[in-house]
Structure 1
């Protein structure tokens, strides 16, 4: 049995999500970094959303990074992990052979820059071959 976890491109959003997005587009359409009132309204709504998600996840709002999609999220996570290991002699990227195309492209670029990259094979169900 396989489990598909990336429903972003294949599943319609829940009605509650559509309603929240429409509300945000109506009242908080400006850049949240702007100093004018529409921007500050957007900043408040974003802060409220961040707080609600953090409460749901059991973390601090400052620990959340909202991104526009998988490629940006993957790049952010990989670059942060590599930055944390820079200079330790332990810098390596390990990923499965069936990752998101944006992550595979990043892995190829990092490998060309000298970062060791290991691509682990998967079985017929897409599970990483732990023996590898």
Structure 2
């Protein structure tokens, strides 16, 4: 759907250094018939502030509610972490994902767009989780 940007490449080439070492987490979703079909990460941006990022599900698993289950799992784990703010950055072309985020407690947020939206050229939607 998008070209990889430098930020994406750096994170995907060394997730331990870019996500885990600074205090983030990475999860994978496994389906009984399809194997590993999804992933999601929480990237620590600053003390108490995390970005939900690299959420995706393979095409073969779309429609199986894997994304929703993975998101709910990650949100439950986020609630156990010491964070004051959880946000995500996306593009309005990702309509199904945006609907999923809204359904699960994310709200559009101009403050998040101002603070973090420039991290990706493709970013034109910023959302903050209201469950924290």
The TM-score, its normalising length taken from structure 1, stands at: 0.32
- TM-score if structure 2 supplies the norm length? 0.32
Bigger strand fraction: 2
> Which of 1 and 2 has higher RCO (CA within 8 Å, sep 6+)?
2
Larger radius of gyration: 1
